[in-house]
Amino acid sequence: MLKISLSRLEELFAAIAEKQTLYIPSDRADGAAEFTKWEPGKALTQKLNTLRSAKDFFFPQTENIVDFKMEGKNIQVIDQRSEHEDFVIFGVRPCDARSFTILDKVFLSEPVDSFYKNRRDHGTVVTMACSRPAETCFCGTFGIDATEPEGDAACWSDGEDLFIKANNDKGQAFVDSISSLLEEGDTAKLDQVKAKTKEILSRLPLANLSTATFGGDTLNEHFNSEKWAELSESCLGCGTCTFVCPTCQCYDIKDFNTGNGIKRFRCWDSCMYSDFTKMAHGNPRTSQLERFRQRFMHKLVYFPANNNGEFGCVGCGRCLSKCPISMNIVKVMKALEVK
Amino acid sequence: MQEAMIKRAKELLTDGSVKRVIGWKRGEFAYDITPAVFESAEELDKDFVFDDFTSANVSKYLVKESKKEGKVLVFLKPCDTYSLNQLTKEHRVDRDNIYVIGIPGGPKLDIEKIKAKGITGILSVKNDNYTLKIETLYGEETMPFSEAILDKCASCKSKKHVTYDELIGEDGDVLDSDRFDMVEKLENMTAQERYDFWREQLSKCIRCNACRNVCPACTCEKCVFDNPNSGVENKAASDSFEENMFHIIRAFHVAGRCTDCGECSRVCPQNIPLHLLNRKFIKDINSLYGEYQAGADTTSRAPLTDYTADDCEASIVHERGAE
Amino acid sequence: MQVNENKEFQPLIVAFCCNWCSYAGADLSGTNRLNYPTNVKIIRVPCSCRVNPMFILRAFQRGADGVILCGCHPGDCHYTSGNYFTRRRMTLLFSMLDFLGIERDRTRVEWVSAAEGAKFAATMNEFTEAVRKLGPNRRLEDLRCRKQ
């Protein structure tokens, strides 16, 4: 496989950044990792994953859709859309990489979301395999192999070198653009690292979590389960889980009056909120139990029902560490599991 | 302590004095504790936990639970009792329907501090004479207990239970804490430095609302930020102004009512030091309008609903701190 | 923010004036032909304590460079105690804005009675100059509302 020494990462990033905007996961002042635009001197984080997922690049938290201006009685519609610049996201983990496949199913199916497509077409996803999974990881439950990431191009580290391989045409174009820095390398040490990672993955506390009792056909038994009352009772309805989740995709459309025109924009919404899908008569889900149930039913039952068995979760573990009251999809799955 | 609490809770459930118990439930790992309502002795035996990770302030759940049929038993740490008093003062809970058992406070541990040391694959955390022995998938790790203490516990203001029907363990005293040190440090910076500090912190905000929803002082049935009629309804912070606005307004709405329980900073997924905003208000109120601790009692008037003819003028802002 | 023919920065000042004292005071300065800058846009409120901190922030959001609150003198409030609450509220709010690094001179509370037309004009002149020195509001600005 093609490789480059890890000591030459700065050179690699400089070469990529010369042609396109490059984003890498990097450490912040407070220690957390986040995706930022690469500048000379910025180092790749050693942390397992970023705090916010990579869905921001294709589905940002707020996005302007259209502007309006009043001129007397005429409304002028101003289309602010423009072709997005080419960019590369480097270092995306296998779980986040799978989330793009899930989001594609939502935004790229008819009718195609032009804002999402614009970004998706111009972005190249370069993934990085994991070697030190955390106890909160459970990507394996959803058929994701943390040692064989998806994405346009995939990378592995064996401690000394960075190995890289293209997975499709876009990825091949990317690899070709930096081929002058790469050389053929022997993967013996890497194979050992992969084997060791696989062994740790099998020993993870959540390794045995299974989706066998979930899926499109299991709607009635899970919907009517008595466990929801207990599971949802301490839910604060805050929306943290939704916003850190790489696959949550609900959004609201709002108008903002700037004082000299209207900006119509979309922003992330959470089905846990009390005014979610509020209609003329109010919110159809009046209790926190119903809203809590909705989120997990969507990920475990409704989404696979509509998408050929693909679940709406990638096992990244962010909801496990970020929920203020430590409720998460694992606890829900374990409570509902039909033995 | 955990056994004593379970035992007492079972006694009160069995003799019918209480119908429900609010406490903490074991999770998947050592540290993911969920607040929960227990209704039977079996549930208590199976899942109730009280240890170094039970830092959640459960007083806010009483807003809903105290209105239900039958008394509810709640275990409150000293800091949580202040929150309950404040809720009682504002008539948000039915105090007669609550049986409070005061339990010892922290210091509690912060799993983020343990993870920040690079420790991952955590399977268990044990306290061995103030050294933490952490078993992980990658071997055993150790670190001093003192380095993993929650920020809010490090600047604890009081070990005194200001309301309780019964105590397990001892009552403590109000402490001399250093909780205003960071506020003072910021006050002594220049305005530009302060602006840069807060821009860096608040630009991380993702408007997840965890701070608002966990805060015991934020009990409005319809928050101004969820109300389209208020004019400031927003679901996401579209720009720097909205980031600032949400936090200034939220801190202002709880000014004089915030008991400094520290939950807001503990739950923030982006580690924004929100408690500094609330402590700034508390420090200002203390120095300008007299020492006031929200939740210390249930009868005094909150500073913002009170006044004296001799209050200082707003121009005092120009005379304090650095420019 | 506006610019006049000389390309000089003209700050936009929003003045919340209570109906009974300071609005009447503003009226008096008008009848006495005392000049105060056209930069000042007055919003009449029944009492200075009607002013919610959100109003102040919204004024800054919508383009104000300075916000001033005028009310009756403490002790003379038409509603007896409204301005006492204003005083506490605004002191704390301005202190918080200062804590976040917003320039102190962008906000002020001034007590102007119905007989103090001269004081009203003088205050507005002085405040406008103080804000002009600071330049346009950038720290509490909402970029979406900036006029193109």
CA-nearest residue of chain A to B266? A324
Predicted confidence at residue A339, as pLDDT, reads 63
Predicted confidence at residue A2, as pLDDT, reads 93
> Is there a contact between A325 and B234 if contact means CB atoms under 8 Å apart?
no
User: Do residues B177 and B155 lie in contact, with contact meaning Cβ atoms separated by under 8 Å?
Assistant: yes
Predicted confidence at residue A31, as pLDDT, reads 85
C122 touches chain B (CB under 8 A): no
Position A301 pLDDT exceeds 60: yes
Token pair recorded at residue B196: 């840069």
Predicted confidence at residue B78, as pLDDT, reads 94
Token pair recorded at residue A106: 């939502």
Position A264 pLDDT exceeds 60: yes
Query: From CA B39, how far away is CA B54, in angstroms rounded?
Result: 19
> Is there a contact between A258 and C63 if contact means CB atoms under 8 Å apart?
no
Bridge pairing between strands B98-102 and B166-167: parallel
The C-alpha of B182 sits at a distance from chain C's nearest C-alpha, in angstroms, of 12
Query: From CA A331, how far away is CA A30, in angstroms rounded?
Result: 29
> Is there a contact between A320 and B28 if contact means CB atoms under 8 Å apart?
yes
> Is there a contact between B245 and C109 if contact means CB atoms under 8 Å apart?
no
Give the B window 187-216 contacts with C, CB below 8 Å.
Answer: 187, 191-199
Token pair recorded at residue C101: 């690094």
Query: From CA C141, how far away is CA B72, in angstroms rounded?
Result: 48
3-state secondary structure (DSSP) of residue A155: strand
Position A229 pLDDT exceeds 70: yes
C87 touches chain B (CB under 8 A): yes
Of A135, A275, A321, the CB nearest to B226: A275
Give the confidence band of A142 by pLDDT, cuts at 50, 70, 90.
very high
| HSE-up of residue A56 (Cα within 13 Å, Cβ side) | 16
Long-range contacts of B160-163 (CB under 8 A, 24+ apart): B160/B78, B161/B76, B161/B78, B161/B81, B161/B102, B162/B78, B162/B81, B162/B82, B162/B85, B162/B295, B162/B296, B162/B297, B163/B76, B163/B81, B163/B84, B163/B85, B163/B88, B163/B100, B163/B298
The C-alpha of B93 sits at a distance from chain C's nearest C-alpha, in angstroms, of 27
Share of chain C above pLDDT 70, in %: 95
Give the confidence band of A277 by pLDDT, cuts at 50, 70, 90.
confident
Where b means 16+ CB within 10 Å and e means fewer, C81-97 reads: ebbbbbbbbbbbbbbbb
User: Do residues A8 and A181 lie in contact, with contact meaning Cβ atoms separated by under 8 Å?
Assistant: yes
The C-alpha of B237 sits at a distance from chain A's nearest C-alpha, in angstroms, of 8
Residues of chain A neighbouring B137 (CB-CB closer than 8 A): 133, 135, 200, 203-204
* pLDDT, tens digit, 9 for 90 and up, residues A78-95: 998 889 999 999 999 999
Using omega within 30 degrees of 0 as the cis cutoff, is the peptide bond preceding A284 cis? no
The residue ranking higher by pLDDT, A145 or A339, is A145
Burial of B222 per CB tally in 10 Å (0-12, 13-18, 19+): exposed
CA-nearest residue of chain A to B223? A274
Size of interface B-C (CB pairs under 8 A): 119
By 3-state DSSP, what share of chain A in percent is helix, strand and coil, each rounded to 5? 35, 20, 40
Token pair recorded at residue B71: 């008394």
Burial of C75 per CB tally in 10 Å (0-12, 13-18, 19+): exposed
> Is there a contact between A61 and B206 if contact means CB atoms under 8 Å apart?
yes
What is the pTM assigned to this prediction? 0.93
Sheet containing strand A74-78, strands side by side:
A74-78, A62-71, A262-268, A251-257
Structure ipTM over 0.85, yes or no: yes
Rounded to an integer, the average pLDDT of B138-143 is 92
Query: From CA C1, how far away is CA A200, in angstroms rounded?
Result: 61
A273 touches chain B (CB under 8 A): yes
Query: From CA A174, how far away is CA A136, in angstroms rounded?
Result: 32
Share of chain B above pLDDT 70, in %: 99
Any alpha helices (H) in chain B, and if so which ranges? Answer: 2-14, 41-47, 62-65, 78-89, 111-116, 151-154, 181-187, 191-202, 210-214, 240-253, 263-267, 275-289
User: Do residues B70 and B31 lie in contact, with contact meaning Cβ atoms separated by under 8 Å?
Assistant: no
DSSP per residue, A42-88: PPPP-SSS-SS-GGGGTS-SEEEEEEEEEETTEEEEE----PPPPEE
Token pair recorded at residue B36: 């929960």
Residues of chain A neighbouring B236 (CB-CB closer than 8 A): 61-62, 267-268
Query: From CA B311, how far away is CA C86, in angstroms rounded?
Result: 11
The C-alpha of B110 sits at a distance from chain C's nearest C-alpha, in angstroms, of 27
Residues of chain C neighbouring A259 (CB-CB closer than 8 A): 62-63, 145
Of B242, B244, B307, the CB nearest to C100: B244
Predicted confidence at residue C6, as pLDDT, reads 65
Domains of chain C, with CATH numbers? 11-142 (3.40.50)
The C-alpha of C58 sits at a distance from chain B's nearest C-alpha, in angstroms, of 9
A324 touches chain B (CB under 8 A): yes
Phi/psi-derived region of residue A113, left when phi > 0, alpha when psi is between -120 and 50, beta in every other case? beta
Predicted confidence at residue B170, as pLDDT, reads 86
Position B257 pLDDT exceeds 70: yes
Give the confidence band of A146 by pLDDT, cuts at 50, 70, 90.
very high
Rounded to an integer, the average pLDDT of B156-175 is 91
User: Do residues A165 and A154 lie in contact, with contact meaning Cβ atoms separated by under 8 Å?
Assistant: yes
Cα end-to-end span (Å), chain A: 44
User: Over chain A, what is the mean pLDDT?
Assistant: 92
The C-alpha of B313 sits at a distance from chain C's nearest C-alpha, in angstroms, of 6
Residues of chain C neighbouring B272 (CB-CB closer than 8 A): none
User: Over chain C, what is the mean pLDDT?
Assistant: 93
Query: From CA A312, how far away is CA A316, in angstroms rounded?
Result: 12
B186 touches chain C (CB under 8 A): yes
Residues of chain C neighbouring A256 (CB-CB closer than 8 A): 144
Using omega within 30 degrees of 0 as the cis cutoff, is the peptide bond preceding B303 cis? no
Please work out, in degrees rounded to the nearest 5, the angle formed at the alpha carbon of residue B239 by the alpha carbons of B194 and A26. 70
Query: From CA B241, how far away is CA C60, in angstroms rounded?
Result: 9
Give the B window 44-63 contacts with A, CB below 8 Å.
Answer: 56, 61
User: Do residues A264 and C144 lie in contact, with contact meaning Cβ atoms separated by under 8 Å?
Assistant: no
How distant, in Å, are the alpha carbons of A260, B155, C41, C63 from that of C38? 21, 51, 7, 15
3-state secondary structure (DSSP) of residue B37: strand
The residue ranking higher by pLDDT, B84 or A72, is B84
CB atoms inside a 10 Å sphere around CB A151: 26
A44 touches chain B (CB under 8 A): no
Rounded to an integer, the average pLDDT of B107-128 is 91
Give the B window 270-299 contacts with A, CB below 8 Å.
Answer: 270-271
CA-nearest residue of chain A to C59? A259
Share of chain A above pLDDT 90, in %: 84
Chains with 3+ CB–CB pairs under 8 A to C are A, B
Predicted confidence at residue C4, as pLDDT, reads 61
CB atoms inside a 10 Å sphere around CB C33: 8
Rounded to an integer, the average pLDDT of C54-73 is 95
Residues of chain C neighbouring B285 (CB-CB closer than 8 A): 92
Pick among C2, C61, C145 to test the A interface (most A CBs inside 10 A): C145
Angle between helices A114-122 and A94-107 (to 10 degrees): 140
Pick among B21, B33, B209 to test the A interface (most A CBs inside 10 A): B209
Position B87 pLDDT exceeds 70: yes
> Is there a contact between C147 and A263 if contact means CB atoms under 8 Å apart?
no
The C-alpha of C105 sits at a distance from chain B's nearest C-alpha, in angstroms, of 8
Size of interface A-C (CB pairs under 8 A): 10
Burial of A225 per CB tally in 10 Å (0-12, 13-18, 19+): middle
Give the largest CA-CA distance in chain C. 46
Position A331 pLDDT exceeds 90: yes
Of C89, C93, C101, the CB nearest to B191: C101
C79 touches chain B (CB under 8 A): no
Predicted confidence at residue B235, as pLDDT, reads 87
Chains with 3+ CB–CB pairs under 8 A to B are A, C
| Single-letter amino acid code for the residue at B134 | I
Predicted confidence at residue A80, as pLDDT, reads 86
Predicted confidence at residue A189, as pLDDT, reads 93
Query: From CA B136, how far away is CA B50, in angstroms rounded?
Result: 22
Phi/psi-derived region of residue B133, left when phi > 0, alpha when psi is between -120 and 50, beta in every other case? beta
> Is there a contact between B34 and A324 if contact means CB atoms under 8 Å apart?
no
Predicted confidence at residue B322, as pLDDT, reads 61
| Single-letter amino acid code for the residue at C76 | D
B245 touches chain C (CB under 8 A): yes
Of residues B31, B36, B50, the one with CA closest to residue B104: B50
Query: From CA B126, how far away is CA B33, in angstroms rounded?
Result: 15
* pLDDT, tens digit, 9 for 90 and up, residues B168-212: 988 888 888 889 999 999 999 999 999 999 999 999 999 999 999
User: Do residues C22 and C78 lie in contact, with contact meaning Cβ atoms separated by under 8 Å?
Assistant: no
> Is there a contact between B307 and C54 if contact means CB atoms under 8 Å apart?
no
* pLDDT, tens digit, 9 for 90 and up, residues B13-64: 999 999 999 999 988 888 999 999 999 999 999 999 999 999 999 999 999 9
Query: From CA C72, how far away is CA A270, in angstroms rounded?
Result: 46
Position C80 pLDDT exceeds 60: yes
CA-nearest residue of chain C to B196? C101
Residues in C lying within 8 Å of A, measured between beta carbons: 62-63, 142, 144-145, 147
CA-nearest residue of chain A to B26? A326
Residues of chain B neighbouring A61 (CB-CB closer than 8 A): 206, 236
B319 touches chain C (CB under 8 A): no
Please work out, in degrees rounded to the nearest 5, the angle formed at the alpha carbon of residue A320 by the alpha carbons of A226 and A224. 15
Any alpha helices (H) in A68-187, and if so which ranges? Answer: 94-107, 114-122, 169-177
Q: Please report which helix (H) or strand (E) contains residue A331, including its range.
A: helix A329-336
Position B321 pLDDT exceeds 80: no
* pLDDT, tens digit, 9 for 90 and up, residues C5-27: 667 899 999 999 999 999 999 99
The C-alpha of B195 sits at a distance from chain C's nearest C-alpha, in angstroms, of 4
Predicted confidence at residue C3, as pLDDT, reads 63
Query: From CA B26, how far away is CA B31, in angstroms rounded?
Result: 8
Query: From CA B153, how far away is CA B80, in angstroms rounded?
Result: 12
Give the A window 71-90 contacts with B, CB below 8 Å.
Answer: none
* B109: CB partners within 8 A, 6+ apart: B31, B52, B53, B55, B125, B132, B145, B148, B149, B150
Query: From CA A129, how far away is CA A139, in angstroms rounded?
Result: 12
| Single-letter amino acid code for the residue at C18 | C
Position C1 pLDDT exceeds 60: no
